[in-house]
């Protein structure tokens, strides 16, 4: 075979394999998204552990209700003097905050997506994204016996605060157990580890998740307890009226 032909062939095969891997990446991501957002609704108790650079821990407890991916209430139950502080998220980037001490509901501006949620290392965006395939395109960059490693980049026109995410997806259940977040400058800033992935009914979920902010050397652990899926939560639950009434 001539040299030229060799080059042509290798280019073709390279293109082919790239295209193939692209398609495969997308496919995996789609599977991931449907795995992560499979339940119709969810109810759980949440323990949030804030760990500072010196290893000091702060605890918060909350209860969480979620429905149809975009409706969510998180209400803090501990510490006692912050009991009742609650967030309500509704479709269309609408967020409300309720402060029981003032009995007041305040709308929160939508552009806060890249600010931290309640002092944790999760941003509002981190908490709200589960339909990854809607916002990101994926490349399969490598795989081994147990994992696929995807590189996620925001689709054109989609505004995200990360330039890319590297997602390690388990082959056995399509659940990601590690996500690395890169900022706009392309530096790794945060790492999410799903330390314990459990199954209830047919659903997989991250029972223990740890988000590390590498820049601030601060991390947040979220532990889910008393999780229940598909308990037919009413839409009325996700209203301002309900936000206030809780005692």
Partner 1 sequence: MKRLAEFIIKWKYPVLIVIGIITVFFLYEIKNLKINSDWSTYLKKDDPTIKLSQYVGEKFSGNVTAIVAVEADNVFSPKVLSAIASLTRALESVEGINSVTSLTSIIDIRNVDGILEVRNLIDNESIPEDSASLDSLRNYVLSKDMYSGRIVSADGKLTMIVCLLDHDADEESVARKIKEIASKYQGRLKIYYAGIPMQMLELNRIIRTDLYRLVPFAIIALILMFYLNFGDFKSVFLPLVSVVISTIWCIGIMVISGVKFSIVSNALPVVLITVGSAYGVHLVAHFRELRRGILDRKELIKTTLMHVGIPIFLAAVTTIVGFISFIGSYLTIITEFGIFSAIGVLIALLISLTLIPILLYFVSRRTFNERSILDKPLEKLLLSIKRIVLHHNKWIIIVFAIIILVSIAGLPLLERDSNIMRYFKKNTEIRVAENLMKKYFGGSYTVQILVKGDMRDPAVLKKIMELEKYLNSIKNISKAQSVADYICEMNRVMNGHYTIPESRDGVANLYFFIENEPIMEQMVDRDYKEGLVQARIYTLDTGEIIKLVDAVNAYIKDSLNTRLVYARRDIIKNKTFLDSLAIEQAAKKVLYDLEEYNYAGDSDFVDIKVELENGLKRRSYPYNEERKKKLHTRLEDFFMYESAIAVEEENLFRQLVGGFVDLISMGTPPDIESIWDVFNATGADNNFDREELKLTVESLYDIWTDFFNRARVDYIAHKLGQIYSFGESENIYQDVMSDLWVLNEDVILLPDAVARKYGIEGRPIKLEMEQTGSATIFKRLDESIVKSQVKSLIIAIVLVYFLLMVQLRSFKGGLFALVPIVVTILFNFAIMAYTGTPLDTATVMIASIAIGIGIDYSIHFINRFKMEFSHNRSVENILETTLLTTGKAILVNAISVIAGFLVLIFGELAPVQRFGWLISITMVVSMLGALTVLPALLISTRAKFIGDFSAVKFFNRNRKRRDKQ
Interface positions with partner 1 (CB under 8 A):
50, 56, 58, 79, 81-82, 85, 97, 99-109, 111-112, 114-116, 118-120, 161, 183-185, 215-216, 218, 239-241, 244-245
Give ∠ CA 121-124-129 in degrees, rounded to 5: 105
φ, ψ of residue 28 in degrees (nearest 5)? -60, -45
Instruction: State the nearest-atom distance from the C-beta of 226 to partner 1, in Å.
Output: 24
Instruction: State the nearest-atom distance from the C-beta of 9 to partner 1, in Å.
Output: 44
Quick one: CA dihedral 144, 150, 151, 156, positive or negative?
A: positive
Give ∠ CA 139-141-143 in degrees, rounded to 5: 120
Write the DSSP symbol of residue 123: B
Instruction: State the nearest-atom distance from the C-beta of 242 to partner 1, in Å.
Output: 10
Question: 143 or 183: whose CB is closer to partner 1?
Answer: 183
Question: 51 or 195: whose CB is closer to partner 1?
Answer: 51
Helix (H) or strand (E) holding 227: strand 218-229
- Give the closest residue to 62 by CA, choosing from 47, 81, 51: 47
φ, ψ of residue 119 in degrees (nearest 5)? 75, 5
Question: 63 or 230: whose CB is closer to partner 1?
Answer: 63
Question: 7 or 109: whose CB is closer to partner 1?
Answer: 109
Question: 67 or 160: whose CB is closer to partner 1?
Answer: 160
- Dihedral, CA of residue 9, residue 14, residue 19 and residue 23, to nearest 10: 120
């Amino acid at each position: 075979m001539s040299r030229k032909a060799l080059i042509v062939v290798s280019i073709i095969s390279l293109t082919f394999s790239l295209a193939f891997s692209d398609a495969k990446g997308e496919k995996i991501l789609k599977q991931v998204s449907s795995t992560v957002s499979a339940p119709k609704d969810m109810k759980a108790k949440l323990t949030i552990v804030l760990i500072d650079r010196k290893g000091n821990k702060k605890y918060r407890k909350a209860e969480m209700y979620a429905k149809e991916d975009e409706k969510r209430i998180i209400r803090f139950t501990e510490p006692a003097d912050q009991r009742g502080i609650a967030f309500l998220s509704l479709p269309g980037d609408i967020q409300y905050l309720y402060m029981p001490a003032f009995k007041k509901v305040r709308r929160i501006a939508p552009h806060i997506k890249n600010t931290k949620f309640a002092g944790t290392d999760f941003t509002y965006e981190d908490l709200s994204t589960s339909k990854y395939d809607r916002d990101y395109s994926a490349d399969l960059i490598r795989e081994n016996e147990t994992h696929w490693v995807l590189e996620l980049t925001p689709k054109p026109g989609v505004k995200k605060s990360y330039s890319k995410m590297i997602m390690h997806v388990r082959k056995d259940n399509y659940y990601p157990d590690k996500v690395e977040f890169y900022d706009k400058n392309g530096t790794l800033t945060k790492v999410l580890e799903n330390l314990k992935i459990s199954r209830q009914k047919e659903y997989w979920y991250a029972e223990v998740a740890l988000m590390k902010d590498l820049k601030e050397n601060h991390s947040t652990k979220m532990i889910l307890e008393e999780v229940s899926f598909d308990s037919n939560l009413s839409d009325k639950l996700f209203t301002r009226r309900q936000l206030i009434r809780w005692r």
